[in-house]
A and B are shown apart, each in its own frame.
Chain A
Amino acid sequence: MYQYTEFDRQFVRARAAQHRDQLERNLAGTLSDDDFRPLRLQNGWYIQRYAPMLRVAVPYGELASSQLRVLARIAREYDHPSKEVFDKAIGTQATWGTTHLPVGYGHFTTRQNVQFNWIPLAKSADVMDLLATVNMHGIQTSGNCIRNITSDELAGVAPDEIADPRPFAEIMRQWSTLHPEFAFLPRKFKIAITGATNDRAAVRWHDVGLHLIKNDAGELGFRVFVGGGMGRTPVISTEIRAFLPWNQIMNYLEAVVRVYNRWGRRDNAYKARIKILVKAEGQRYIDEVEAEYQQILTRDGAPHTISQAELDRVSACFVPPALAERAQAAIKTVANNTTVPAERQKDYDRWLQQNVASHKNPALRAVTLSYKRLGQAPGDADADQLDTAAALADEFSAGEVRVTHDQNLLLPWVRAEDLPALWVAASHAGLARSNIRLLTDMIACPGGDFCALANARSIPVAAAITERYQDMDELHDLGEIDLHISGCINSCGHHHSGHIGILGVDKDGKEWYQVSIGGSDGSDLSGDAVPGKVVGPSFGALEVPGVIEALLDTFRQHRNGRETFIDCVKRVGLDTFKTAANSARLADKHEELHAMPKTSGYAKDVQEA
């Protein structure tokens, strides 16, 4: 992992002190709420339906066990609303049927960050100080600025890797951190980077997507894409550079972002993302970026050219950890020759198949802990579960985990011979369900139970589908399926890129869901990135599980051998599936149960979220 220098550490502490100064001025009445909002957003604090949410930055998803333990402490000690706040929340949510609101949880996001939902704003400065003790912060996790840079969950360990993207992600993190010119862009700006052939970072769906490649001469560089995004106008990004030398990436991004800052629309938040600019201006935007880049090179002297010394310095932080003191605690707690009981061999084999990935080092494996299970929202982990993950990381994975784009945790440095012991330990913790990449490994946003912008709840829909598909034989038979659920068109649950996408929509103040099929995040499994197509008019909440079942039954009827759902949809065509989905409509939708509680006026926060 990147090792923070004294400068890096004091920078994070200074940022925490800056937030405290702003918070104190806000509480004292000398910094108005309107003036404070964009400042606190850029530290990850935004007010939701009932309470503030904190989004903690996890640069390219890498976490040390010491950091996980601090996140656990925040969940345990700070993620609790006052009685007044909670009573209001549960009372209001009860009007549309929510009877349980989790408190004391961290939540893993699709952009590899960690969120908390209940921390009182008055305690926010204390939380930032606590985070700073382990080099963590919320810098640029919200607001109209360059956000946390995401990457491949298997960065540095994937066998199909051309080059490790993490040193570049770290160098770009530093470049983008408190960039003076780019703090108030027209809209948020998200960068994803991968160094592997299989795109596990959905780079084509980002404002900027970077793909490390080698050219014919064997030189390392980037294929650069710009203008991808979800929201109400899903757009797959455009290639703006087929090959950019690796050391020029920041000079080039400066041109990309400067032209966007100057030209991007600011009159309409829905048209302010760079995807709209790239669509509207097309080649003119590309030409302007190229001209600006040439000016940066020739007139400005290419100041942000990455030196070999700096790349070497940062890369040295990412050499694989020595595993000489291998899993000693594990050997103590679980017999070294752990054997899997015969009656559980099938479970273990399935876990090996779904949750265990091959590794650059043939002696090692990357293992995903599943945070998709009954009774907890997708990607939620309470304090004890965060501590457990830290303990597993220390025992089995050199103290390191990754937050995955699919809202799980991954252990990147597991010895093959430790797999049985890890499986036993993860099973005891409830984190060994063999559903990775299967239907119930769904992506879901917090939805209308927490988010002020949501049109509908995500968590109950996720729960209903999880409950319906508990039979592991059935789940494995269905094979790998991306199910993505968003509570509104802002698409935090990535419904556009799901093989099956579910989108909460508002009709007459009630909770409805649009279902789409055939979307792709751009991975090998899913094919070229493309938004899914809507199957028909939206469905009531109670109809959704039946619609999913109808789609999957249709898949089973038409499936060729072990064909995947997405391949079957592409081969058979959408119409067959549309017909099936629409035949699952109920005569009585019980609509009256699902009136949308009115949110109490923090729309400005979510507009910038």
Chain B
Amino acid sequence: MKLIAASAHSTGATAGKVIELANTEDPRTLDLSRVSRIDLNFPKFTDGRAYSQAFLLRRRLGFTGELRATGDVLIDQLVQMERTGFDVAVLRADQNVDFAQRQFDRYRGFYQGDAVTVSPRFVTHPQPAPATAGFVQTGAAI
């Protein structure tokens, strides 16, 4: 995931068309032809609507351009942003990029599928049934 400092973020000067989408909009109403970038906004980091927008754009609509997270973007939400389909995040001005990388390194994997890894872990890494020593069917040990 590409991280951009707030000061380096610009809304113009991009090759293709850029759309800024408010988090109240339904992305399925958009004409995505020739759109190269969509900015999804987090007015507060606790307002999670843009995660669903990103998922729908990436997974449902097959949008292959850039999905950029803007607004109240904190390093503690970067991993879930990436998992829902964002590939660029513009960090809030006070965020320390030095602390960001270890957020990505922490988990070996996740349980559920997402916009990047479609299948849940029980499909991608099936586990054997546990050894049942010490366990029996109802009544058998009585």
List residues of chain A with CB under 8 Å of any chain B CB: 3, 5, 7, 10-11, 14, 17-18, 21-22, 25, 30-31, 35, 38-39, 144, 171, 174-185, 250, 258, 261-262, 266, 295, 299-301, 303-304, 307, 309-310, 312-313, 316-317, 319-324, 360-361, 363-364, 415
B15 at the interface (CB under 8 A from A): no
Q: A597 vs B75: C-alpha distance in the bound complex, in angstroms? A: 38
Given contacts A21-B102, A300-B60, contact A183 B80 (CB under 8 A): yes
Tell whether, in the assembled complex, residue B135 and residue A321 are in contact, meaning their CB atoms are under 8 Å apart: yes
* Chain A residues whose C-beta falls within 8 Å of the C-beta of B103 in the assembled complex: 18
Shortest CB distance A25–B (Å): 7
Considering the complex, give the chain B residue whose CB is closest to the CB of A362. Answer: B139
Interface 0/1 of B67-93, CB less than 8 Å to A: 000000010110111011000000000
Tell whether, in the assembled complex, residue A22 and residue B76 are in contact, meaning their CB atoms are under 8 Å apart: yes
Shortest CB distance B103–A (Å): 8
Considering the complex, give the chain B residue whose CB is closest to the CB of A310. Answer: B122
B52 at the interface (CB under 8 A from A): yes
Considering the complex, give the chain B residue whose CB is closest to the CB of A304. Answer: B120
Given contacts A181-B84, A363-B142, contact A316 B132 (CB under 8 A): yes
Tell whether, in the assembled complex, residue B132 and residue A181 are in contact, meaning their CB atoms are under 8 Å apart: no
List residues of chain B with CB under 8 Å of any chain A CB: 26, 45-49, 51-52, 55, 59-60, 74, 76-77, 79-81, 83-84, 96, 99, 102-103, 106-114, 118-123, 125-130, 132, 134-142
Tell whether, in the assembled complex, residue A319 and residue B135 are in contact, meaning their CB atoms are under 8 Å apart: yes
* Chain A residues whose C-beta falls within 8 Å of the C-beta of B76 in the assembled complex: 22, 31, 35, 39
Shortest CB distance A504–B (Å): 28
Tell whether, in the assembled complex, residue B46 and residue A184 are in contact, meaning their CB atoms are under 8 Å apart: yes
Q: A250 vs B26: C-alpha distance in the bound complex, in angstroms? A: 23
Most B CB contacts (10 A, CB to CB) among A18, A178, A184, A324 go to: A184
Q: A14 vs B108: C-alpha distance in the bound complex, in angstroms? A: 9
Shortest CB distance B84–A (Å): 5
Given contacts A180-B84, A262-B49, contact A25 B99 (CB under 8 A): yes
* Chain B residues whose C-beta falls within 8 Å of the C-beta of A301 in the assembled complex: 118
Considering the complex, give the chain A residue whose CB is closest to the CB of B120. Answer: A304
Given contacts A17-B106, A184-B51, A304-B120, contact A322 B136 (CB under 8 A): yes
* Chain B residues whose C-beta falls within 8 Å of the C-beta of A175 in the assembled complex: 111-112, 120
* Chain B residues whose C-beta falls within 8 Å of the C-beta of A171 in the assembled complex: 122
* Chain B residues whose C-beta falls within 8 Å of the C-beta of A312 in the assembled complex: 129
Tell whether, in the assembled complex, residue B114 and residue A320 are in contact, meaning their CB atoms are under 8 Å apart: no
Q: A307 vs B137: C-alpha distance in the bound complex, in angstroms? A: 22
Tell whether, in the assembled complex, residue B129 and residue A180 are in contact, meaning their CB atoms are under 8 Å apart: no
Q: A304 vs B112: C-alpha distance in the bound complex, in angstroms? A: 8
Tell whether, in the assembled complex, residue A38 and residue B46 are in contact, meaning their CB atoms are under 8 Å apart: yes
Considering the complex, give the chain A residue whose CB is closest to the CB of B105. Answer: A14
Contact of B79 among A180, A185, A258 (CB under 8 A): A180
26 CB-based A-B contacts, threshold 8 Å: A18-B106, A21-B102, A22-B76, A31-B76, A35-B74, A171-B122, A174-B122, A175-B111, A179-B112, A180-B83, A181-B48, A183-B77, A184-B47, A258-B52, A295-B60, A303-B119, A303-B120, A307-B122, A313-B129, A316-B132, A319-B137, A320-B138, A322-B134, A322-B135, A322-B136, A363-B139
Given contacts A39-B76, A309-B126, contact A184 B60 (CB under 8 A): no
Chain A to chain B: the 3 pairs with minimum beta-carbon distance, closest first: A184-B48, A180-B80, A180-B83
Tell whether, in the assembled complex, residue B51 and residue A261 are in contact, meaning their CB atoms are under 8 Å apart: yes
